[in-house]
Chains A and B, each alone.
Chain A
Amino acid sequence: MLFTWLLLSGFIVLLIPQEMTGKLHFAFARIFRLPLSMGRNVTLSAHTRYNPQSKTDRQQAQLQNHIANLTEQIQEKNRQIEMLSGLKTRFTWEGVKFQLADVITISVSGMQSTMIINRGSDDGIRSGQYVLGDNSVIGVISEVSARNSGVKLITDPDSKIEVNIEGVRINRVMQGNGNNSARIQHITTDHKIGIDSAVYAKKQPDRIDAAVIIGTVARCMVNKENPSVWEINIQPVCDMEMLKNVAVIIMDP
Chain B
Amino acid sequence: MKWLRFAAYTVTIMLLQASALEMISVTSMNIKPDLIFISVVFFSIYCSSKEAIVTSFALGLAADIVVGSTMGPYFISFGVIGTLLANTQRIISLRKIPYQAAAIFIGLFSAYTLAFILRIVQASRDSSNLLSVMFTTALYSIVIGPFLFPVIAWICGINIRRASRKLF
Contacts and interface: CB of A to CB of B under 8 A. Distances in A.
Given A21-B72, A35-B19, A110 B126 contact: no
B20 A42 contact: yes
B166 to A, nearest CB: 15
Nearest to A113: B30
B126 A39 contact: no
Contact of B28 (A43, A47, A105, A179): A179
B146 interface: no
A91 interface: no
A180 interface: yes
Question: How would you classify the secondary structure of chain A's contact residues: helix, strand, loop or mixed?
Answer: helix
A107 B67 contact: yes
B75 A10 contact: yes
A84 interface: no
Contacts of A14: 70-73, 75-76, 118, 121-122
A10 B68 contact: no
Question: How would you classify the secondary structure of chain B's contact residues: helix, strand, loop or mixed?
Answer: helix
A6 B56 CA distance: 10
Contacts, number: 135
Interface residues of A, number: 48
Contact of B76 (A10, A110, A111): A10
B126 A158 contact: yes
A241 B116 CA distance: 25
A28 B76 contact: no
A157 B132 CA distance: 14
Contacts of A139: none
A117 to B, nearest CB: 13
A172 interface: no
B58 to A, nearest CB: 9
A2 B50 contact: yes
Interface in B119-137: 121-123, 125-126, 128-130, 132-133
B31 interface: yes
A147 interface: no
Interface of B: 11, 14-16, 18-20, 22-23, 28-32, 50, 53-54, 57, 60, 65-73, 75-76, 79-80, 83, 116, 118, 121-123, 125-126, 128-130, 132-133
7 contacts: A7-B76, A25-B71, A35-B15, A36-B15, A40-B22, A43-B23, A157-B128
Interface of A: 2-3, 6-7, 10-11, 13-16, 18, 21-22, 24-25, 28, 32, 35-40, 42-43, 46-47, 105-112, 114, 116, 150, 157-158, 175-181, 241
6 closest Cβ contacts across the A-B interface? A39-B19, A14-B72, A21-B71, A110-B29, A157-B126, A110-B133
